[in-house]
Chains A and B, each alone.
Chain A
Amino acid sequence: MTLPIAGQTDAGKAAEATVSDVVIRFAGDSGDGMQLTGTQFTNTSALIGNDLSTLPDFPAEIRAPAGTLPGVSAFQVRIADHDIHTPGDAPDVLVAMNPAALKANLRDLRDNGVIIVNTDEFTPRNLKRAGYESNPLEDDSLNAFRLYQVALTTMTRRALEESELDVRSKDRCKNFLALGMIYWLFSRPLEPTIDWLRVKFRRRPEIAEANVKVMKAGWNFCDITDAFQVRYDVEPAKLEPGTYRSIHGNSALAIGLVAASRRSGLPLFLGAYPITPASDVLHELATYKHFGVTTYQAEDEIAAVCAAIGASFGGNLGVSCSSGPGIALKAEGINLAVMVELPLVICNIQRGGPSTGLPTKTEQADLLQVMFGRNNESPVPVIAASSPANCFDTALEAVRMATAYMTPVILLSDGYIANGAEPWRIPEVEELPDLRVDFHQNAEGFMPYMRDERTLARPWAIPGTPGLEHRIGGLEKEDVTGNVNYEPENHDHMVRLRAEKVARIVNDIPDLEVDGPQSGKLLVLGWGSTLGAITGAVNQARADGLTVSRAHLWHINPFPRNLGDVLDRFERVLVPEMNLGQLALLLRGRYLKDIETYSKVEGKPFTRDEILHRIEQMAGEANQK
């Protein structure tokens, strides 16, 4: 929404206006602390009770040359007094710490939006680095916006005049001056950030206090001067009663895996190799050793998955976490798990590709890779998380499928939800699924490839159990005995058996639910992280008077039992995907249904309006008929 320029005024004070929804983008150099600034604003707003959604956007380089466009790091956060689904299409407020940050982000800013710039950085040298021919603060190029020029660096140094810190350390506090100003502008309390600083820098209190001082200086600057004519507030959202926290997707995934470990009684083993944007799962799980979690930073992606398979063989919950390039390397290991029928969860936090591609950008173009990127007939269940908080439930469901069906399972997430945050209503532990597992113990009549009648799972007989000594491996197995077998009929039988086992998962997954009319002209069907944009677009289309239905897939292999019926009930099915139509290909092949793909492969998530426009366009075509 556009921020109003007038509000209720008390004598001598800035006018105050309440807004229902605001999008703020913090942008600066990679070293300016923009991710941290944005995260602090997010956490404080969460504690106030706003609904929120975030979109970090940072370069692959750790410190690209200062002041250049490739070095710009940004963090967008949307806060609202109502239920929201995306981090917002266009910022209302842009904080630009230097000319490059202004240049890289200006085109996204809403008309009449607020720009706060650090004038100290608008030197001829920095302007040239950013590719400006004239100073945008002095020409007319920013006339369409509300520009606030603040000497952030100068003010920071002045606030810290009495501090013992060196100039460089002082200058590093300037993001907190900007944060203090934004806190004032949106009527947020400083206490949560002050508390955080004092814990974070408990061993370096001089750093904590310098940041506190600078943040307060930013706040006071706004409060005392008339820099801003209007001050805003965003009231708490009317969320369902309960206890909430703000959570990132990778964090929800890590916690979900620990929860699954506890609920199954299986110690968690994570084999991983550092890769963007999956490394945070390794980092977070490495801090949960007190939950019996073993994390193993292997020599490569292959060793990471192989060690996880070894851990599963030994009776642990084996997990490996990576992104597309790493999943490519793990393919042979995943296939081994298919053949030896051991539980294993492989998380693919997708990023832009192919090859090294766009490491820090988001995409959902690994769907066909995880479905088919292994030699031969290699059925693997696939499940996709749709939001940061949903990563928690998805982890539990992946573990359930893996252990109940003795199979590797692939969990898809992506950079957008991995690094994005939203409020999460914290579940009661007792509400979580019971995932208890019984290892096979009885030696009488034991055969390693005998099967459960319902699930077709083979027994999990772990080393150390007397009388169950047996051998498994990648060579084709004889049914029941598990002995190596090359006979044609047996192979045909086993290929079909492995496929049937995965297909049977359909028996205990929920049917696909359709939001809106259960049949009609248009269904917008999504999977994974497009949930927010699709939901926002469909809700808006309905508010605008259009009739449109919506559904979102969680399980992708196997598909929910009723999916074919659902598709048949609609004249047109639109699938927005951050790829060139991968789910659409699966749907066409499976259901012979004409699916309309809406592709976007820019390394950025869909905006709500992009999908809304497509829905409007399709509605318009329908009217013309």
Chain B
Amino acid sequence: MNTTEAPTLTRKDFQSDQEVRWCPGCGDYAILAAVQQVFPELGIPREKFVIVSGIGCSSRFPYYMNTYGFHTIHGRAPAVATGIKMTRPDLDVWVVTGDGDALSIGGNHLIHTLRRNVNVKILLFNNRVYGLTKGQYSPTSELGKRTKSTPHGSVDFPFNPLNIAIGAGATFVARSVDVFIPHLKAVLKRAAEHKGSAFVEVMQNCNIYNDKAFAALTDKTGRQQNGLYLEHGKPLVFGDNKDKGLRFTGTDFEVIELGNGKSADDCLVWDEEHANPSLAFQMASISTGDGLGDFPVPLGVLRAVDAPTYDAGVIDQIDELTTARPQTLDQLIHGTDTWTVDAGGNVHRGAN
């Protein structure tokens, strides 16, 4: 296959000629811009990118990227992406999905793709609502939410997407926010560099059906007061003036006010590479993600560990056996037990 040497690419190289048809003000625009800015920085030729999506507002994403793209069916993008990556390891495969697509109809494919550690990057745009079908509650909608399908309030307990990913054994789990552009770009870059399944939850505002769902996190004061920016090897401090921190009691996280004898030294030092996923799970659990609880919203990389990928395992096995057991098609067709009928009608065991 012919491939070009990676030329210097720019954001423009990744913009397709298609008119972007998300609602004005949709958080997806910011995410699209961030991806178009990050891709040229990865040193990968444009023709090597494949973006696979399912169904929903977020899943229109591939049409707007000037790469190879596949807008598949509801919930199945991880399955299609797995087939691509298993057979074409040279390609850089990204899945774009939403909270309904990935966690409701496609939950099975998501967990199994993460479990296998298929080397694909999964971006889950979480706006906590069904947008394309015009405003029903989703598996991440908060309890009590009133929507068209829950006029009296939802009694349906929501998922925490990060915990689904961690529970499924994902080797890279991170979270960012549509409007936190530099942070989002940094997280996307980390995901791109990870070898194995990378799961990124992007909090995304749907200004039509669930406006300001993350306002407590994204407004001017919320960014500092309610965002916990995880950094590997750094203590867990947050707040306007880095005046708060998170201590780990051995069973739980607790918020402590820094000063008065308490310092960053009293806070847990974040370890995204911790072998046991329990701590990442517990970290993900401190907040539902909207910034409204007693705890800040963890953002950044919760977990990043090295593990063999499924696709490499499959390909290694094929390569190994192809070398170890050379066989012709003719030999395969013949099998082991044959008999031959000669022109005289005599039968003898074996081939001619």
Contact = CB atoms under 8 A, between A and B. Distances in A.
A469 B322 contact: no
Say what secondary structure dominates the interface of chain A. Answer: mixed
A46 B337 contact: yes
B340 A262 contact: no
Contact of B79 (A49, A259, A302, A464): A302
Interface stretch (B46-54, B271-279, B301-309): B46-54
A203 to B, nearest CB: 18
A309 interface: yes
B294 interface: no
Given A299-B108, A333-B73, A464-B47, A242 B340 contact: yes
Contact of A306 (B47, B76, B87, B327): B76
Given A239-B341, A310-B83, A316-B87, A336 B72 contact: yes
Contact of A469 (B67, B73, B325): B67
Contacts of A299: 79, 108-109, 112
B341 A310 contact: no
Most buried by A among B79, B81, B343, B347: B79
Q: Which of A288, A293, A314 has the most CB of B within 10 A?
A: A314
B340 A311 contact: no
Given A243-B340, A289-B318, A307-B82, A467 B109 contact: no
B66 A469 contact: yes
A291 B210 CA distance: 52
A82 B253 CA distance: 82
B259 interface: no
Contacts of A426: 333-334, 338, 351
Contacts of B91: 314, 463-464
A469 B46 CA distance: 8
Contacts of B342: 241
A113 interface: no
A290 B327 contact: yes
A468 B349 CA distance: 54
Interface residues of B, number: 69
Given A255-B333, A466-B47, A294 B109 contact: no
A472 B70 contact: yes
Contacts of B345: 236, 238, 241
B260 interface: no
A340 B2 CA distance: 24
Contacts of B50: 313, 463
Given A246-B337, A471-B70, A311 B322 contact: no
A466 B2 CA distance: 8
A294 B1 CA distance: 20
A176 B326 CA distance: 35
A28 interface: no
A6 B9 CA distance: 90
B48 A463 contact: yes
A464 B341 CA distance: 50
Nearest to A43: B337
Contact of A300 (B82, B108, B352): B108
Given A269-B87, A290-B321, A316-B87, A303 B337 contact: no
B269 interface: no
Contacts of A292: 318, 322
Contacts of B47: 463-469
Contact of B84 (A314, A474, A475): A314
B338 A243 contact: yes
Contact of B88 (A314, A332, A340): A314
Interface string A441-474: 1000000000000000000000111111111111
Contacts of B70: 310, 313, 340, 471-473
B340 to A, nearest CB: 5
A48 B347 contact: yes
Contacts of B149: none
Interface in A467-502: 467-475, 483-484
B87 A289 contact: no
Interface in B112-144: 112
Interface string A291-323: 111101011101100111111011110100000
Contacts of B62: 471, 473
B321 A289 contact: yes
Given A291-B332, A307-B80, A310-B80, A470 B68 contact: yes
A138 interface: no
A475 B54 CA distance: 11
A316 B1 CA distance: 14
A291 B321 CA distance: 8
B337 to A, nearest CB: 6
B156 to A, nearest CB: 23
B314 interface: yes
A249 to B, nearest CB: 15
B76 to A, nearest CB: 4
A235 to B, nearest CB: 9
Given A43-B337, A429-B333, A463-B91, A307 B69 contact: no
Interface string A325-346: 0000000110010001000000
A164 interface: no
A191 to B, nearest CB: 9
Contact of B3 (A315, A316, A336, A464): A464
B79 A303 contact: yes
A238 B318 CA distance: 42
B82 A49 contact: no
Nearest to A307: B83
Given A300-B108, A303-B79, A313-B70, A49 B341 contact: yes
Contacts of A262: 329
B73 A332 contact: yes
Contacts of B68: 463-464, 469-471
A43 B314 CA distance: 34
A589 interface: no
A467 B343 CA distance: 57
Nearest to B72: A336
B45 interface: yes
A92 to B, nearest CB: 23
A545 interface: no
A309 B349 contact: no
Interface string B309-330: 0000010011001101111111
Contact of B80 (A47, A239, A309, A469): A309
A294 B318 contact: yes
A309 B87 CA distance: 11
Nearest to A298: B79
A271 interface: yes
A50 to B, nearest CB: 9
A621 interface: no
A464 B90 contact: yes
22 contacts: A49-B341, A192-B337, A239-B341, A240-B341, A243-B339, A245-B337, A255-B332, A267-B87, A290-B321, A299-B79, A309-B80, A310-B82, A310-B85, A313-B70, A316-B88, A332-B73, A429-B330, A441-B2, A463-B48, A463-B68, A463-B91, A469-B47
Given A245-B335, A313-B83, 4 more contacts: A336-B73, A427-B333, A465-B47, A472-B71
Shortest beta-carbon contacts, A-B, top 10? A310-B83, A473-B71, A49-B347, A307-B83, A306-B79, A471-B69, A303-B79, A463-B68, A299-B112, A310-B80
